[in-house]
Amino acid sequence: MTSTNIPNTFPLNLPEGDPDLLLDELQTRLREGRRLFAEVGQILAEIESRGVRDLYGFNSIAVFYEHVARVPRAEAKRVADRALALNSRRTRDGTSTPPVAPLTGAAAATGALADGGIDRIVTVMRRLPEHIAPSARLEAEKDLVDLASVARPRDVTIAGTDVLARLAPDDNDTHDPTPRTPRSEFWLRQKRTGRWDMRGNLDSETGARLNALLVPLAQPAPDGKADSRTPAERRGDAFAEIVDLAESSPDVPMPRQTSEPLTERPEPAEPVEKPANSSGTAQPRERGDQSRHRGDDSARSDKAHGVAHIRPPRWWFRLSRSRPGTETSSPALDRSVVQISDKNATHSQQRKTA
């Protein structure tokens, strides 16, 4: 006869209406799963001691675990590194290699530590220099293990940073020879939808002041009605209210005026010496003969000289010959034109003779 007291959707034989019992069962199974996984690490360390290549033909214990457990390469490497750091193993010559964190390995074997806390403790113990006394190392590791058994991995990271600063301050300075005080940062960009996305990294004082302004304004509606806004939406409304208050303040700074870009004015061209045989000033050009390029004759002559290096003489002669109503502004230009004209005439005479 089948009992109707046990719900079919729940596989465990647990009574309903007891949240503490559910929590205890969850913690028990988490602890048991961690203990079994610690035994997996012990087996991997033993395989490494005997030689994974000789036993199974793999190059490393991480590659072996990747194929056996059918997990990604990154996860397999983390598991292998954790197993080798928590368990002692023998080398090929028979010597024993001690674990990096022996107390952490003993606590992990009981299922009291999670993987995140174990990895952070191992990182701290590897960064401790060798000249630290063994008693100081064990004391620091014990403090971290006790914390990791009841706290989150981020708390273990903070405590590990304090341990490194206390036991190896010189070693920390070598990693950053020129430490500097981090400044507050803030990013604000507008998305295609028109809304604005912002994020920042504030120092402790600025962050505390901003939080003190947001907290009272982000409280639920005080009129007793149900507030359907999420906590993030309430903080967004509070931030918008702070912006309104700051904008209406009489002490708000005015927007900075953008300075106009400085444009370099061209320096006046030096006066060109007129040839001795020229008399009077050049007559102004007719409207129909005006050039498309503005500027004085000396600039046009410099441009023509540059063209002479890359174009045949006939192009040079066409660009540099004098136009009706103008005079040649440089004797050197006249001599160049005459020489090129003589060369062209010589080449033409030679072709006719041939």
pLDDT reported for residue 204: 87
274/271 Cα distance (integer angstroms): 9
133-136 LR contacts (CB < 8 Å, sep 24+): 136/167
Residue 103's pLDDT is 96
pTM of the complete model? 0.48
What pLDDT is stored for residue 247 in this prediction? 85
C-alpha–C-alpha distance, residues 31 and 110, integer Å: 8
**Taking the mean position of all CA atoms in its chain, how far away is CA 273?**
62
Two tokens at 340?
A: 């090129």
Q: What residue type is assigned to position 145 of the chain?
A: V
Instruction: For the chain of 354 residues, list the mean pLDDT of each consecutive stretch of 10.
Output: 50 73 90 96 94 92 95 96 93 84 96 95 94 93 95 94 88 55 86 89 88 87 78 90 86 62 47 48 45 46 47 48 51 52 60 58
Say how far apart CA 56 and CA 47 lie, in whole Å.
Answer: 9
Could you give the CA distance from residue 65 to residue 45 in angstroms, rounded to a whole number? 11
Q: Give the torsion sign (CA, 13, 17, 23, 26).
A: positive
Residue 286: the pLDDT is: 46
How far is it, in rounded angstroms, from Cα 17 to Cα 166?
49
Paired with 197 in beta bridges are 189
Q: What kind and span of H or E run contains 75?
A: helix 73-86
For position 191, what pLDDT does the model report? 87
Integer Cα distance of 271 and 24 in angstroms: 99
Residue with tokens 């803030």: 186
The SS3 assignment for 320 reads helix
**Angle made by CA atoms 187, 190, 196, in degrees to the nearest 5:** 75
How far apart CA 80 and CA 322 sit, in angstroms, is 87
Residue 167 has which token pair? 């036991």
Residues 6+ apart with CB under 8 A from 140: 124, 128, 163, 167
- Tokens 């971290």 label which residue? 144
β-bridge partners, 90 = 96
Chain-centroid distance, C-alpha 350: 72
